[in-house]
Amino acid sequence: LEAAGLRRTFRVGSRLSPSRVSAVDGVSLQLRAGESLGIVGETGCGKSTLARMLVGLEKPDGGTLTYRGQDVTAGRRPDRRLLRQGVQMIFQDPYTSLDPRMTVLDLIAEPLAATRSASTRQRKDRVAELLALVGLSTDMMTRYPHQFSGGQRQRIGIARALVLDPQVLICDEPVSALDVSVQAQVINLLRELQRRLGVALLFISHDLSVVRHVADRIAVMYLGRLAETGPTATIYDNPGHPYTQALLSASPSVGSDSRGRLRRRLVLAGEPPSPVNPPSGCRFHERCPLAEARCAEEIPALRALPGQDGPGRLSACHFAERVMSAG
């Protein structure tokens, strides 16, 4: 699944004083077969809008989305169907994403009905198989979502997402509505499904300690743009963007690197600015401790960092080299 320059703006405000929110502004990324990519950033950075575009729930205003080599943003019907079958979404809130009037059997089997004809027997067998796969008992089929705990409901959501044998699962904050004690179980389940089924995961979270356990690669987003991307271990050890550095030093459980050295603390000034009229130049410049005059004028390109091993190690900071050598 490949996004190239994806863009999405929303109109907000009254008719007399309309303004535009730039939710996603030119995001390019690649999700390869079977890999796991984490998207990290604060609330409001455009992660969910990006996720909704990747799964075809939201149409981009610009850029292209390619799935298995086919452009699916042109809106031609067969291509959208291809996306719907191959790319499935797991939602943040298992309490609201499942219809309370449907049984577990109907909830999980529903996507089947829309695409292929299956007999009652076949539907039941498939649902039983999926319940076992996500660690639930098959006699739960006749029950309703409210009879389950949050973690169980998220497992039902995962089973539903898997019913069409997708190649890609887009998980938007899939554990942030769950108790901390349950989060690890659901994360481990997703990891195991990735290995067993060879499905690719795009895992969206504001929680860096969660993403570290799930993602082979991460992409950090700030106000609708990518700040940096690269292999997870490399970025956690030596971030190439001041925003990543700040996120890492603010996260208690990842406050030291893999060798146990404490990170240099970097505290951000203020709240993230509004995506309505975002800052000029580098969108991070008003909060960045390293900002110079150039940063307010010139948009930093997302560029490869020289001398960095690992594919796709990119940063959108004019002074990435300085950030990294300061470690």
Determine the Cα–Cα distance for residues 104 and 257; give it in Å rounded to an integer.
43
CB of 5 to ligand SF4, least distance (A): 20
Amino acid residing at 83? L
**Closer residue to Mg ion in complex, CB, 53/324:** 53
Determine the Cα–Cα distance for residues 139 and 159; give it in Å rounded to an integer.
15
CB of 309 to Mg ion, least distance (A): 32
Q: Does 205 bind Mg ion (CB under 5 A)?
A: no
Give the SS3 label for residue 26.
Answer: strand
CB of 48 to Mg ion, least distance (A): 3
Of residues 294-313, which lie at the interface with ligand SF4 (CB under 6 A)? 295, 300
**Closer residue to Mg ion in complex, CB, 47/126:** 47
> Taking the chain, what is the end-to-end CA distance rounded to the nearest angstrom?
33
**Closer residue to ligand SF4 in complex, CB, 18/306:** 306
Give the H or E element holding residue 254.
none
Q: Which does 288 bind (CB under 5 to 8 A by kind): Mg ion, ligand SF4, none?
A: ligand SF4
Strands 303-304, 314-315: pairing is: antiparallel
CB of 55 to Mg ion, least distance (A): 13
Residues 226-265 as x/- pattern, contact with ligand SF4 by CB under 6 A: ---------------xx-----------------------
**Closer residue to ligand SF4 in complex, CB, 98/235:** 235
Contact between 206 and 199 (Cβ < 8 Å)? no
Contact between 46 and 5 (Cβ < 8 Å)? no
* Residue 281 burial (C-beta neighbours within 10 Å; 0-12, 13-18, 19+): middle
**Closer residue to Mg ion in complex, CB, 48/152:** 48
Calculate ∠ Cα 190-195-198, nearest 5°: 100
CB of 298 to ligand SF4, least distance (A): 8
**Closer residue to ligand SF4 in complex, CB, 31/45:** 45
Sign of CA dihedral 273, 227, 246, 292: negative
CB of 49 to ligand SF4, least distance (A): 22
Residues 269-288 as x/- pattern, contact with ligand SF4 by CB under 6 A: -------------x-xx--x
Of residues 44-73, which lie at the interface with Mg ion (CB under 5 A)? 48
* Residue 257 burial (C-beta neighbours within 10 Å; 0-12, 13-18, 19+): middle
> Contact residues for ligand SF4 (CB under 6 A)?
241-242, 282, 284-285, 288, 290-291, 295, 300, 317-319
